[in-house]
Amino acid sequence: MYENILRHPGPTPIPKRVELAMNHNIMSHRSAEFVALYHETINKVKPIFGTKEDVLLLPSGGTAALEAAAVNTVAKGEDVVVITVGAFGDYFVSICERYGFNVHKLEKSWGEACTAQDLAHFLVGLPPIKAVFMTYNETSTGILNPVDELAKVVHEHTDALVIVDGVSCIGGVEAKMDDWGIDILVTGSQKSMMLPPGLSFVALNQRAWQVIEANQTEAYYLHLLSYREWAKQGMTPNTPTVTLIYGLREVCKLIEEEGGIAQSAARHTLMRDMTRAAMKALNIPLLAEDAYASPTITAIKAPQGIEISTLLAHLKQHYHIDFAGGLGSLQGHIFRFGHMGYCFPSDVLQAVSLIEAALQDLHYTFTPGAGVIAAQEVFLAAHK
């Protein structure tokens, strides 16, 4: 049985070095050895978030971290703004509504980004807002919101916290949490962080902690004040994912060896540009505009005359490469090419060549090799 090449937007491939690190002998999460591992790893993680503040590790998927960010900062009946540009922005809406927050939803069409002007206009006339929730990288559409600009608008017009979902991009884009005025930044392990699912991250500044301390949350497992107190000791309040923390330390070393998060972000931007150039050369439409296109995932529309489901099934069955389909209203209309984490320009060239092979099999009219050549030209131009 052949192993499929995973080009999903998560989970993503895991480097062999990280796999080997996770094979380390298990140890007690209350031992001195674990405390040393915890402190070392957290110090290595902070530059990836662009912060000198607290970064907490939760033994959970990213959704739990999003929920923790919400339930620890906002009380029932308080007003919040949620910016949604796709399926994962809608996650924040659902979480906030479940806890009884008064949600003001700034909704953009799927495939569009939220601009600073959109947000400034939306905030006019609203009651006092406790928090503004936004998605940095919208996985369902391949949109990268300008969270630096959005955070500035929030601080200019309100006293609200800026809470950002960075699940599908942290590790693959630059994040300057402290400089941009982001109060809480969340991500998960299984995307650009090059780990299996099961570990999430919540980075918080002192402004966020002041709000959390004043908020009487009902959370128990997701009680962030408890995580903060245990973190001072180099531990977590509940049993952590010890093996993933071993792996996380190795991921941080890989990013350091590459040249830091700026270089990792540059690699992801290059892969985005290669992918988009290839699709344009093949006359296959893209969902997002160039200005707001994600460096970690590209949403690609159906080639003329070919069903998305047929193309994806053919690619997986005959060429052993696995892409993701669309979500929600985009199901059957797009497929999603994940180029994040443990992915390199050579992987993009491989994937494009296999897409071309499948297109020829399905009798799509194009110049063979056009996509590969376009992607290769972008790559070569970046290395001149």
pLDDT digits (tens, 9 = 90+) for 90-130: 999 999 999 999 999 999 999 999 999 999 999 999 999 99
pLDDT for 285: 98
Mean pLDDT (the chain, rounded): 97
6 membership: H or E segment, kind and range: strand 5-6
CB 114 within 8 A of CB 107: no
**Rounded mean pLDDT of 148-167?**
98
**Rounded mean pLDDT of 18-45?**
97
pLDDT for 2: 72
Residues paired with residue 133 on neighbouring β-strands, in sequence order: 82, 163
Position 3 confidence tier, pLDDT thresholds 50, 70, 90: confident
pLDDT for 13: 97
CB 304 within 8 A of CB 298: no
**Rounded mean pLDDT of 140-144?**
98
For residues 382 and 310, give the distance between their C-alpha atoms in angstroms, rounded to a whole number. 34
Query: What is the residue type of 136?
Result: Y
CA atoms within 13 A on the CB side of 99: 24
Question: DSSP class of residue 153?
Answer: H
Q: Is the pLDDT of residue 304 over 80?
A: yes
Domain 5-11+261-382 superfamily per CATH: Aspartate Aminotransferase, domain 1 (3.90.1150.10)
Of 186, 212, 59, whose CA–CA distance to 133 is shortest? 186
310 membership: H or E segment, kind and range: helix 308-319
- Integer-rounded Cα radius of gyration of the chain: 21
**Rounded mean pLDDT of 19-43?**
96
138 membership: H or E segment, kind and range: strand 137-138
Residue that is written with structure tokens 């994600």 in the block: 294
Q: How many CB atoms lie within 10 A of CB 137?
A: 30
Q: In what order do the strands lie in the sheet with 334-338?
A: 297-301, 334-338, 324-325
Cα-flanking dihedrals φ and ψ of residue 59, to 5°? -80, 75
For residues 76 and 98, give the distance between their C-alpha atoms in angstroms, rounded to a whole number. 10
Tokens of 221: 């497992």
**Rounded mean pLDDT of 211-238?**
96
Instruction: Determine the length of the chain.
Output: 384
pLDDT for 197: 97
**Rounded mean pLDDT of 307-335?**
97
CB 314 within 8 A of CB 361: yes
| Binding-site residue set | 336
Please state which of the four CATH numbers 3.40.640.10, 3.40.50.720, 3.10.50.40, 3.30.2090.10 is assigned to the domain occupying 16-257.
Answer: 3.40.640.10
Give the contacts of 104 (CB within 8 A, at least 6 positions apart).
79, 80, 81, 82, 122, 126, 129
DSSP letter for each residue of 247-275: HHHHHHHHHHHHTSHHHHHHHHHHHHHHH
Q: How far is CA 139 from CA 49, 71, 271, 374, in A?
A: 19, 23, 16, 25
Position 1 confidence tier, pLDDT thresholds 50, 70, 90: low
pLDDT for 181: 98
Could you tell me where in the chain the CATH 3.40.640.10 domains are found? 16-257
DSSP letter for each residue of 10-66: SS----HHHHHHHTSPP--TTSHHHHHHHHHHHHHHHHHHT-SSEEEEESS-HHHHH
276-301 pLDDT per residue, tens? 999 999 999 999 999 999 999 999 99
Residue that is written with structure tokens 């928090």 in the block: 131
Q: How far is CA 213 from CA 12, 19, 223, 225, in A?
A: 36, 38, 11, 8
Query: How many degrees, rounded to 5, is the angle at CA 22 between CA 16 and CA 336?
Result: 55
**Rounded mean pLDDT of 222-249?**
97
| Binding-site residue set for substrate | 336
Cα-flanking dihedrals φ and ψ of residue 219, to 5°? -65, 145
Could you tell me where in the chain the CATH 3.90.1150.10 domains are found? 5-11+261-382
**Rounded mean pLDDT of 236-250?**
97
Give the contacts of 31 (CB within 8 A, at least 6 positions apart).
none
pLDDT for 383: 86
